[in-house]
Structure 1
Amino acid sequence: MALTRLKITLDEYLSFPETNLPCELIDGELFMPPAPFLQHQEIVGKLYLILFTFISQNRLGKLFLAPVDVILDVDRLIVVQPDLVYDSKERASILGKRIQGAPDLVVEVFASEPSRDKTLKLGIYAQYGVREYWLVDPEQKSVEVRRLEKAGFEVLGVYRNEDQINSHVLPGLKFKAHEAFDSFQLQ
């Protein structure tokens, strides 16, 4: 699916009316992909419930669900809207009307252009200091977990089926990969 693209300023972006449609600003270029598929939304919802339960029970910080603006660079005009964003209590200072700075954890579920999440956004998240990045592939039913190191993101693991997902940002989190992909059957 094609993205709508347009060059705009940060002020123009921030003055848009509130919307539930995804939009991001990368180097001043507005990206407006179509609304995600139902499978994407179901996976995001399941991951949100799993992560929210763990984070809130342990009082670790805040978890946000798209759309939420994460302003990474005011000068380069970089504003992203990951599917899920976690900020620990220690990084609460970046929370305001929007998130202004790199979150501890970003989760992206592949939708219309997975290559953007695997290349462009991977580089941006590493450059700005996102500590952990999950790339969720609905087709492969996999969760790839990457941790930021000095040289960039290091793959900690690619989890499928009965594999237990490990996170350095959320130590003690325990769930199996298939829990994000198991579909409820409507009868």
Structure 2
Amino acid sequence: MTEQAKIGEYFKNLDQLITLQQTKLEKLQNVKIICNQQVKPFENFHGTPSLIVEVLSGNISNDRILKFNKYAKFGVKEYWIIDPKSSSIEQYVLENDKYTLLNAVNLLTKHELNYLTPAERQSHATTITPHLFQDLEINLTDIFEY
């Protein structure tokens, strides 16, 4: 199962009020979260998703520059960039028509954790909460191989 499919499966099982679609938008593969109870799952949706979760592809500049700017222009409220190679998630929120980095978390290996002090280990975050869904906490171990 690809990283994008694994992450898509995770989000699909979160809540029936969240509609997940994997579609091609101008030949760009996206995972988008639509916060609209009126939209039926897998129905064609025309509008701006509330959250887009982007799994980095081979063309990183495409994800980090082209899509980043395009989604801000269209008013996507929250944009996540997931890097499977570093087991990390960058969380951006739209403020004044530009993205601001809200949070960045990564899953350290057991070997990397050994280099941290006990206080650093205690404070190392392995969860992320969507800005749009404050009651939802996602553990990185549910998404990335640990």
| Structure 2 residue aligned with 1:43 | 3
RMSD of aligned C-alpha atoms? 2.4
Identity %: 24
Alignment correspondent of 1:164: 127
Once the 2 structures are TM-superposed, how far is the Cα of residue 137 of structure 1 from its aligned partner?
A: 0.8
Q: Is the 8 A contact 2:75 2:97 kept in 1?
A: no
What are the superposed Cα offsets for residues 77-116 of structure 1, whole Å, 9 maximum, x if unpaired? xx354431111126749x9964322111111111110111
Secondary structure of the 2:2 match is helix
What is the SS of the residue equivalent to 1:47? helix
Relative to the length of structure 2, the TM-score reads 0.75
* 1:53 aligned onto 2:16: no
1:63 aligns with 2:20: yes
Please, what TM-score do these two structures have when normalized by structure 1? 0.60
Gaps of 5+ in 1: 1-40, 71-78
1:88 alignment counterpart: 35
Structure 2 runs not aligned, ≥5 long? 108-124
Residues of 2 paired with 1:123 and 1:80: CA distance?
16
Q: Equivalents in 2 of 1:90, 1:166: separation in Å?
A: 21
Partners of 2:24 and 2:30 within 8 A in 1: no
Contact preservation (8 Å) 2:90, 2:104: yes
| Count of matched residue pairs | 129
Give the one of 66, 74, 92 matched to 1:120. 66
**Aligned mates of 1:96, 1:140 — CA distance in 2:** 31
